Structures are given as structure tokens and as C-alpha cells.
Chains A and B, each alone.
Chain A
């Protein structure tokens, strides 16, 4: 169960990032035909980010304690002390930003340049922040792996 959760968390996060990139590109080239798509995919970004939050949050609360102990006792303690601490708190900001996206997109029309600008900036913030979250997750996973390998080797 916990491994499935651990897999689904970055999968949904990755899909949310791709969807946000879709909205960014679609908004850059927006026309009448893309209005509904931009609004729908914006909503999809928010849904995917909330799924990422619930799955990751459940894993963090229920299972992460064991991993945390290994990381903190291993050579890559910064995997928790910096990357996990920053990730768990910056993610809350990302969740709100993704929640805001469909609100901003709901008023979008091709003729409305100000809203277009807001959507471009919001998605332009979501994509790199999400990628930083994915990267932090990878570092945390490697930190656990290194700690476990050293334990197995008896070092």
C-alpha cells in the first residue's frame, strides 16, 4: 500500500506539472476555440494537485516517520533536514496556487489580455515550483536508499 502511494504521489504531481505547462502554452496561443480547453485543463491542474497533496500527505503522516529516522541517521541527513522540510511547506503554497488557477481561468476570454497575463504568470510559477518538488522528492528517496544500503553493509 505505502509503495503504491509513494509511486502515485509523484505521478499525479508530474501530471499536474504537464497540465500546467499545457495551460501555459495554450494561453500563449489562445483563440476562441481554446477558451473551454484552458478552463478545463486549469481545473484539471487543481484536481491533480489536490490528489498529489492527499496521497503525499497520507504517506507523510502515516509512513514517513520510519524513512525520516533512516535519513537522519544516514550520511544524507540533509535529505530530510532541508529538502523534506522545504518541500512539505512550499507544497502548501503550490497547492493554493494550483487552486487559484481555475479561479483565474474562469474569467478568461481571448480578448481579455489582463487575465491572459495572470494565467501565464500563475502557470509560469506552478511549473518550476512543481519541478523543484519532484527533484526534492528524488533527493529524499536517494537519501533513504543510501541510509539503507549502508545499514545493510553494516557501515
Chain B
């Protein structure tokens, strides 16, 4: 029987999204609780902390996604569909709650 799998980029960038989203939420808390150092430093890089934050997220997403796709001699990550979906959904919920909870 043929096993139908999801493609390596779907897996790689899916997990990359989950990790990036979570790190981005942590970065929100880090920069807001360290205004004189982290927030100012991020603002100094591009002129505004939010631009730097966005660039950081986009670069991390791309780099992690491409790196994961190189795993296992170029065959990409070995992860089940349910684990991938779980990581994406879990990351959206946890990241959203972290951000909303921080500003509440």
C-alpha cells in the first residue's frame, strides 16, 4: 500500500512557523519588560522596534524552514501530520494567550 505523506516543505515550514510564533511572543514580553535595553536596541536597528520584530520573525521563519528541509540528507523533518498540526495550533493558541495575557 502506498503511503501518502505531506511534503518536506509543508513539514519544515509548518514547524518553523510554530517555533517562530512562540519565540515572537516571548520576544514581546522580553522587549516590553526591558524597555531601556532590548526595546531600545531593537528600535535602534531599524528605527522602530516593531519593524525589527517583524524582520526578525520573517528571517527566523525562512531560516528555520529551510534548515529543517535539509534534515535527513535533504528529505526533511520526520514528523507526523497530527504532530505538525498540533504544533501549529498549539503555538497559535499559546502565543496568542501569552501576548494577550501580557497586555491584559
A residues adjacent to B (C-beta < 8 A) = 53, 57, 60-61, 81-82, 85-86, 88-90, 92-93, 95-97, 99-100, 103-104, 106-107, 111-115, 117-118, 121-122, 125, 129
Contact = CB atoms under 8 A, between A and B. Distances in A.
A95 B9 CA distance: 18
Given A81-B103, A92-B24, A112-B4, A107 B61 contact: no
Contact of A97 (B4, B5, B17, B84): B17
Contacts, number: 97
Contacts of A99: 61
A97 B92 contact: yes
Nearest to B48: A61
Given A104-B10, A106-B9, A113-B4, A125 B58 contact: no
Interface of B is mostly: helix
A82 B32 CA distance: 13
Interface string B80-92: 0100110011001
Contacts of B5: 114
B17 to A, nearest CB: 5
Given A118-B81, A118-B85, A129 B61 contact: no
B22 to A, nearest CB: 9
A121 B54 CA distance: 24
B50 interface: yes
Contacts of A107: 6-7, 9-10
In which size bucket is the chain B interface?
A: 35 or more
Contacts of A89: 24-25, 28, 53, 99
Contacts of A90: 95-96, 99-100
B41 to A, nearest CB: 17
A115 B5 CA distance: 8
Nearest to B85: A121
B1 interface: no
18 contacts: A57-B50, A57-B54, A81-B103, A82-B100, A88-B50, A90-B95, A92-B53, A93-B21, A93-B92, A93-B96, A100-B17, A104-B13, A106-B10, A114-B4, A114-B81, A118-B6, A118-B14, A121-B88
